[in-house]
Structures are given as C-alpha cells and as structure tokens.
Amino acid sequence: MSRRRDMILLLVLSGTIISICMGLRQSLGLFMRPMALEAGISAATFGFAVALQNIVWGISQPFVGALADKYGPRPVLVSTAIAYAVGVALMAQSRGELMLDIAGFLMGVGTAGTAFGVLMGVVTRATPPEKRSQTVGLVAASGSLGTMLLAPIGQSLIDGFGWYAAMLAFSAIAASMVLFALPIRGLADRLEAGPVAAAGRPQGLGEALREALGHRGYLFMTLAFFACGFQLVFITTHLPAYLQLCGVAPGVSATALGLIGLFNTIGTYGFGLLGARYSQKRLLAMIYLLRTLFIIGFLLVPISATTTLVFAAAMGMLWLGVSPLVTGIISRVFGLSHFGTLYGVVFFSHQLGSFFGAWMGGLVFARTGSYDFAWGALIAIGLAAFTLQWLMDDRPPAQLRRAGLLQPAAA
C-alpha cells in the first residue's frame, strides 16, 4: 500500500510540474498584443524570443538530462524551475529586445528541466517495464491540462489587472514548481523498479553516446522526430493566419487549438496503452503517417469551420502520443542509466524541427504570399519520417553486435 501511495504521489507531482511548465509556455501568446500596445514590443521581437526559447530548450535538453542522470532529478528540477520563474519575471520587465531574449533563454533552460525529459526519466525508472508505456502516457497527457486551465486564467488576469500583473502572477506560478519538485527525490529512490544500468559492467556517458550514435535505429528515430516538431509547431504558429486567408472566422482558430489540447489528453494516454501491447516503433511510424494523411485530407476539402475543427480533433489525438512511445523505445533498447541524455539528443532533433517549422512558414508566406509550399513541405517531411520510423531497427545494441551490425561502443 505504501508503494502504491508513493507511486500515485509521484505521478501527481510529475504531472503537475509538466502541466504548469507547458501551460505557461503555451499561454505566452496571450501577452503579445498587450505588450505591443503598452510596452512597444513588436510581434517580431516577441516571436523571436519565443523561437529562441524553443531552440534553447532543445540545445540544453541533453545537458540537463545528463545532469539529472548523474546527480538525480531534484536539484535539476529545482534549479530549472527557478530559471523558468526568473525568465517569466524578466519578460514582464522587458522593454526591449535584449532583455526579452534573455528571458526567452532562461525559460528555454527552465523548460528543458521541468517539461518532459527529466520527469519522463523519473517516472520510467520508478515503473515496472510492463507498465511503463501507459504510465508515461498518463503523465505526458497531463501537459495539455495545464493549457486548458492556465490560458483562461491568464486571459482573466490580463483583462482584470493588466498584462504586467498577469505575467508576474505567471512567474509566481512557475516558482511553485520548486515546491512540487522537493519531494520527488525521496519518492523516486523508494520506487526504484530495479537496477537502471544495463546488464554487465557500468557504462560511461561517452561510451553510451558512441553506442547510441552508432545504432542506425536510434539515428532513424532521431531524424524522424524532426518531423514531429516541424509539423506541430508549424500548425500552432501558422494555422490561425492560414484560416484567416481562407475566410474562416477568427474565433475558429482559438477553438481549434483548444480542441487539439483536449484530444491530445485522450490520444497521448491511448497511445501509452497501445504501446504496452504493440510494437512501439510501428505505432510511432503510424502517428507520422496518420498526421500526414490528415493534413492532405484537410487541404483537399473546402476549408471551413467544420473541417477545421474535425482536423484539429484528429491532430490532437496524434499530438503528443509520440512521448510514451519514444520514451519506451529508448528505455527498452538502451536501458535507463543514461536515459536523460539519450532522450535529450532525440528531443534536440524535435526542437530543431520546431524552430524550422515556425521560421519556414513565415519565410514562405513572406516570399510567396501563400502557405502552399509550406504545407507541401509538411507532407514530404511527414512521409519521410514514417519511412524512417517504420524501418527502424529497435534491437538492443548487444543483439546488433552479436549479429555483426554494430561495432563495440568503446572502439
């Protein structure tokens, strides 16, 4: 009974931290217009700070993960939560580009620690192998709940007290992640499901990285994950503008983004359940294929409020279902000793895709006045990701070495 209580508490704490982190991050767009009107911050300046946050998140994720692997999750969670809160507070004080970019940098580092990477490792280590996929799916699904709660709270604060007070309130909410992080170390230690290192001698970080980077399946999955970030961030960034070009009422885009969040909660947990029973690499490949097919279908039918909302619900079901599957593949193939680092490398590819998805969409529209080429790029990259993921060899390195398909990691 004590173990069950500890596990529930760990899941609640982890889910709460992820919800706060992602909810705050995904609600920043609420501040763009009031900051432009009252603080003279242009949309381009604000947008670059958000883009910088994404790329810093990706770059710092392997390093933050490595620190969590070495020193444990609590010091990393506490320090990155503080960085996140300071970044939001600095954003409230920003009246120019430099301070806003510093705020974006700090929030990027903070997100690397308080979003999925570190906490997925904690939950994965604490969960028996046969329950990992669905448990990770449950925690990952909570990331959408934060947006559903914090976005309306943020809008109410802006309407009632102004954007400056609302952003300071967001900073205080970010700081609360420190309190939720404090008990996690003790819980994780008590719940350790077994030895985290692979069988045999302990493996150093450099050796683990060489082994992973020499594993063709790991490289295929890493390259395919680029498409995930590319497709999703393009949609969240540019769908509202595209719908406006198509003559769809402005309120529809907000409803569509809300539907994505709602159905993401269902889909992420659902794929976690499926990942416990079926091939995780095949399910991951099917997510990439289905996303791409829904994009094609959306573009082929007349764009309307109804088709947009159906598209949003379908994409929401496929949104973060990748999280429990990628987590499951890494833990099964490479073990848990250096999970945070190896997940961080894969996630860096995702964030590169996020950066280029947002940047490419704006560049294409500025050059051509249309999103047609950008949608075509989403389709091509999605099909490439499906192919790479479907062909992934997900056998552990030891099996590949016995088959003569992988050189010793220390070579």
Q: DSSP string spanning 175-203? A: HHHHHHHTTHHHHHHHH--S--SPSSS--
Q: pLDDT per residue over 73-118, tens digit each?
A: 899 999 999 999 999 999 999 887 889 899 999 999 999 999 888 8
Domain final residue, candidates 162, 194, 226: 194
Q: Does 405 map to a domain?
A: no
| pLDDT of residue 144 exceeding 80 | no
| pLDDT of residue 200 exceeding 50 | no
| pLDDT of residue 43 exceeding 50 | yes
Q: Are residues 225 and 138 in the same domain?
A: no
Q: Are residues 80 and 8 in the same domain?
A: yes
Rounded to two decimals, the pTM is 0.81
Q: pLDDT per residue over 335-349, tens digit each?
A: 888 888 899 899 999
Bigger pLDDT: 41 or 326? 326
| pLDDT of residue 201 exceeding 70 | no
CA distance 340 to 121: 6
- How is residue 253 written in tokens? 């885009």
**179: amino acid identity, one letter:** L
| pLDDT of residue 164 exceeding 50 | yes
Q: Are residues 86 and 20 in the same domain?
A: yes
Q: Does 385 map to a domain?
A: yes
Q: Are residues 247 and 394 in the same domain?
A: yes
- How is residue 93 written in tokens? 């004080």
Q: What is the pLDDT averaged over residues 176-189?
A: 86
| pLDDT of residue 187 exceeding 70 | yes
Q: Are residues 207 and 128 in the same domain?
A: no
Which pLDDT band holds residue 60 (cuts at 50, 70, 90)? very high
Q: Does 408 map to a domain?
A: no
Bigger pLDDT: 272 or 250? 272
Longest pairwise C-alpha distance within the chain: 66
What's the pLDDT at 278?
A: 92
Q: Are residues 96 and 179 in the same domain?
A: yes
CA distance 81 to 21: 9
CA distance 341 to 331: 12
Bigger pLDDT: 411 or 272? 272
Q: What is the pLDDT averaged over residues 300-318?
A: 93
Q: Please give the distance of CA 270 from its chain centroid, rounded to a whole number.
A: 17
How many domains does the chain contain in total? 2
Instruction: Show the domain range for 165.
Output: 1-194
